[in-house]
Structure 1
Amino acid sequence: MSARRIEGEGEVLVSVEGVYKHFPIRQGIVFKKEVGRVHAVDGVDLRVRRGETLGIVGESGCGKSTLARCITGLHPVTSGRILFEGTDITGLPKSGLKAFRRDVQMIFQDPYGSLNPRRRVGSIIGDPFAVHATAAGAERKRRVQELMELVGLNPEHYNRFPAEFSGGQRQRIGVARALALRPKLIVCDEPVSALDVSIQAQVVNLLKDLQDEFGLTYVFIAHDLSLVRYVSDRVAVMYLGKVAEAAAVEDVYVRPRHPYTAALLSAASVSDPDAAERAERIVLTGDVPSPIQPPPGCRFHPRCPKAAGRCVEEDPPLIRRDGDAPGHVTACHFPVEPGESLAGREASIAQVSTQPDLPEVEQ
C-alpha cells in the first residue's frame, strides 16, 4: 500500500523467529490422551518493517490465520519467538500483553461474526477506550464518532446495532475499532473476502488512505493474488505451515522461484483477455497432505513437478538463491529458472497417502 520499498530499508517492527504452533489432538472420554498434533505453523521466520505492508498468501489450511493470531498474541506459540520492537511478546504476562495490544490490532475476516449483534456500534468501537481506560463518558462518545466519520460512517448512527448496517459498513466498524488506540501494527486477516467486489475496492482504498495518514504497518492475508500485489510491498507464500518463498512483491510476481508460487500465479485471474489466452496453467496433481502427518523433506514434493530424491530426504532451507534479488528467499532445492515452463508437467514422485494414521485409544 505504501510506496514500494527495497528489502533491508527501514526499522524492523515485528520479527518472527522459528515460530511453531501445534494443536494437540486428544482422544478418550474420561482420560484424554494426546494421539497426534496439527502442525499449523512449523518453523516460520519473517520480518515486518515499520510502515510497510507484508502480504501473506497460500491455500486454505496453510497456516496464514494461525500465524496472524500468534503475531497478535491470540494464540500462544508452541516454540520460537515473536519480537515486537525488540521485545519478546511470547512470554509476556497478562499486564504486558494488555500494553502490547494497544500497539497491535486485528481486522477479522467476517465483518458480522466479529461484532456482538446485541451491542450498539458506539459501545463496540468504544471498547478499546474502556478496556485501556483512555476515555470515558462524553469524551469517549466524541472520539468514537470521530472514528466513525474517519472510516466513512455516519456519526449519527452511533446507537444502531450491527444488523442495521451492510457488509461493507460492518467491516468499516471493525476498522474503526482497530484504529481506536492508534496502533502501530494492524493484522488484516482476509478483511475483504466476505464482501462484494465493488465493496472490496472501497475497503482496500480506505485501508490504503489510513496507512498513508497514520503511518500504519500492515500484515495483509488474502487469497486474491491480484489484490495482494496491489496492496503489498513484500509477499510471503506459505504452504502447509512453512514459508515457501518471500520477496519484494514484483520479484515474486515477475520471477517466481518456488514451483508452488509459480502454480499459484498461473491460476490467478487476468483482466487482459489476450494475456489470459497466452497464460500457461500449471495444474498440481494430488491432494494437500495432512498437517497432522506432513510429508518428510520438502512438504511440497508429493505435488511438485520438479521433485527429486533429495526433496524427499532433505527439507530445503529458506535462503537466497543465485541470481535472485536481495531479500528474495526460496525454500526449494531446484528453483524455477527464468523462462522455464512447468505447464503440463506432473508430479515426478508418487503421491503418498495424506490420511494420518492415528492410534486407537481405549475408552
Structure 2
Amino acid sequence: MNLLEVDDLVKHFPVHEGAVLRRRVGQVHAVDGVSLTLAPGETLGLVGETGCGKSTLARCIAGLYPVTSGKVVFDGQDITNLSRGAMRPFRRDVQVMFQDPYGSLNPRRRVGSIIADPLVIHGIGTPKERRRAVAELMERVGLNPEHYNRFPAEFSGGQRQRIGVARALALRPRLIICDEPVSALDVSVQAQILNLLKDLQDDFGLTYLFIAHDLSVVRHVSDRIAVMYLGRVVELAEAGELYEHPRHPYADALLSATAVADPDAADRRGRVVLTGDVPSPIDPPSGCRFHPRCPRAGDVCAVREPLLEGAAHLAACHFPIGGDPPAGERGRS
C-alpha cells in the first residue's frame, strides 16, 4: 500500500487587476494535473526549473494550500482540502523542511524553543521531557545540545538547516517534504545534509519527497525521480534509469547541464542548449507545453497534449528519445 497518492492534482491561482474594483483577468496554472505515488521508506525526487510548480505541489500535499481539484490520499485517507482542525492529526505524520535556513527560523527565538514548537503545539510531554527530547534531537542531527539557548544568528547556514531537520523530526513523522533543503548551502555542506537525511531515513524509516532544481543533487538520495515542467510531470522513472536513459527532451537537457567530474564523460554526453524562455504559466502553450523550446518537436506537439505513459519508465512526449514517432509524424531533429 502506498503511503501517499496524488491523483490529478490541480492548483490555480487567480490573477486580478485594478486597485479599487478588482476583477479576475486570468489564472496561474501552477500545478496542472499531477499524479504521483510514494511507497513507505521511499525517496521520490522532484526536479525542474524554478517556477515549474514543485513547491506549490509540496504545499498542496502538506495542506498548506487548498487544492483547486484532484485528490491527495495519505495512508489510505483522503486529506484533500481538510479544515484546519481536521488536518491537525495528520500534521504529526507529514512535516515540511523548508528551503531557506535563514528565513524559516524566527531570529528572535532560541533554537531550543523553535525545535520544541511541534511538541508544544501537539501537547506532547512535560516541559522537562520536551527539553530532554530537544537535546536528543540536536545531538542526533549533529548540533551541540549545550547550544539550546542560542539564537539562529549564532549558527552557520548548514547548522541552521540542521535545526530545521530537528524541528521536522520532532514529531517522528512518516513523510517529510524536503523543499529544496540544500539549494542555499555550499557544495560541501550540501553533501553533509544529504548524508544526514539518508542516515535519518535508515534509522527512523522515513519517507521523503525531495524537491530540487538540480538533478545532480537528487541523484544519490532518490529511488525514483519525477521531472516537472510548467506545472506537469513530463518524465518519471527509477533514478538510475532516468540518468542513463532519459526519454523526455527536457529531462535530457537538465541532465546535460549537470556537473560531471570526468571531463571525457562530459564530452561524450554533450550539451543540450534550450532556446527561448519558459512560457508564462498564466497562458501556457497548447499541446505539449515544452514544444516551443523542444529540439525534437513536430507539428503534432503544438496541437495534442502527450500523455505520461510507459511501463516502468514514463514520459509525456510524442517523440521520446530512443522511441519511434507516430506514423506520418517527424520531429525537427
Fold match (TM-score > 0.5): yes
Contact 1:12 1:47 in 2 (8 A): yes
Give the aligned partner of residue 314 of structure 2. Answer: 329
Distance, in Å, in 2 between the alignment partners of 1:89 and 1:142 is: 33
Corresponding residue of 1:279 = 269
* Structure 1 residue 48: Cα displacement: 0.8
Counterpart check, 1:181 vs 2:166: no
2:156 pairs with 1:166: yes
Partner SS state of residue 220, structure 2: helix
Separation in 2, partners of 1:244, 1:278: 25
Give the Cα–Cα distance (whole angstroms) in 2 for the partners of residues 130 and 242 of structure 1. 38
Kindly report the root-mean-square deviation, in angstroms, between the aligned alpha carbons of the 2 structures.
1.6
| AA at the equivalent of 2:313 | H
Letter in 1 for 2:185: L
Structure 2 spans left out of the alignment, 5+ residues? 324-330
Q: CA deviation at 1:223?
A: 2.1
Q: Distance in 1 between matches of 2:241 and 2:297?
A: 23
Question: What is the SS of the residue equivalent to 1:263?
Answer: helix
Deviation at residue 109 of structure 1 after TM alignment: 0.7
Q: Aligned ranges for residues 32-47 of structure 1 at < 5 Å?
A: 32-47=22-37
- Decide whether the 8 Å contact of 1:107 with 1:189 is kept in 2: yes
Deviations 1:151-176 (Å, cap 9, x if unpaired)? 01111111110001111110000000
Q: Does 1:95 align with 2:85?
A: yes
Find out whether 1:290 has 2:275 as its counterpart.
Answer: no
Report the equivalent of 1:356: none
* Alpha-carbon distance between aligned partners in 1 of 2:25 and 2:221, rounded to the nearest angstrom: 41
Give the drift of 1:91. Answer: 3.0
Amino acid at match of 2:51: G
- Paired letter, 1:336: I
* Residue of structure 1 equivalent to 2:43: 53
Q: How many residue pairs end up in the alignment? A: 328
Q: Is the Cα contact below 8 Å between 2:67 and 2:81 reproduced in 1?
A: no
Q: CA deviation at 1:93?
A: 2.2
**Structure 1 outlier segments of 4+, above 3 Å:** none
After TM superposition, the structure 1 = structure 2 runs for residues 254-265 of structure 1, keeping only pairs within 5 Å, are 254-265=244-255
Which consecutive unaligned segments of at least 5 residues does structure 1 have?
Answer: 1-10, 321-325, 339-346, 350-363
- SS of residue in 2 equivalent to 1:319: coil
Distance in 1 (CA, whole Å) between partners of 2:295 and 2:183 is 30
How far is 1:64 from its partner? 0.7
Shift of residue 327 of structure 1? Answer: 2.2
Shift of 1:116: 0.2
Please give the alpha-carbon distance, in whole angstroms, between the structure 2 residues aligned to 1:42 and 1:28.
27
Secondary structure of residue in 2 paired with 1:231: coil
Report if the CA contact (8 A) 1:125-1:176 is conserved. Answer: yes
Establish whether residue 152 from structure 1 lines up as the match of residue 137 from structure 2: no
Deviation at 1:94, TM superposition (A): 1.9
Q: Which residue of 2 aligns with 1:122?
A: 112
Q: Percent identity?
A: 67
Q: Which residue of 1 aligns with 2:6?
A: 16
| 1:208 corresponds to which of 191, 198, 209 | 198
Structure 2: how far apart are the matches of 1:218 and 1:56?
10
Q: Kindly indicate whether residue 241 of structure 2 is the aligned counterpart of residue 251 of structure 1.
A: yes
Residue 137 of structure 1 corresponds to which residue in structure 2? Answer: 127
CA contact 1:296–1:315 (8 Å) conserved in 2: yes
Could you tell me how far apart the structure 2 residues matched to 1:198 and 1:254 are? 25
| CA deviation string 1:126-159 (max 9, x = no partner) | 0001100012311111111111111011111111
Q: How many angstroms apart in 1 are the aligned matches of 2:208 and 2:147?
A: 28
Q: Tell which deviates more after alignment, 166-175 or 268-277.
A: 268-277
Given the alignment, which residue of 92, 106, 110 partners 2:100?
110
Q: SS where residue 50 of structure 1 aligns?
A: coil
1:92: how far off?
1.7
Instruction: Give 1:278 deviation, angstroms.
Output: 2.3
Aligned-pair CA distance for 1:224: 2.4
| 8 Å CA contact 2:63, 2:81 repeated in 1 | no
CA deviations on 1:223-261 (whole Å, 9 max, x unpaired) are: 221221111000000000000000111111111111111
Counterpart of 1:69 in structure 2 is 59
Question: Which of residues 189, 213, 227 in structure 2 aligns to 1:237?
Answer: 227
Query: What's 1:191 paired with?
Result: 181
2: CA distance, partners of 1:135 / 1:20 = 39
* C-alpha separation in 1, matches of 2:214 and 2:296: 26
Letter in 2 for 1:328: H
Aligned-partner SS, 2:6: strand
Q: Give a deviation string over 1:85-136, Cα, whole Å, max 9, x none.
A: 1111113222221111110001111001000000000110000011000123
Give the secondary structure class of the aligned counterpart of 1:261. helix
- Render the CA deviation track for 1:7-26: whole Å, top value 9, x for unaligned: xxxx3111010101111111
1:230 match: secondary structure = coil
1:348 deviation in Å? 4.4
The alignment partner of 1:253 has SS state of: helix
CA contact (8 A) 1:129 1:136 kept: no
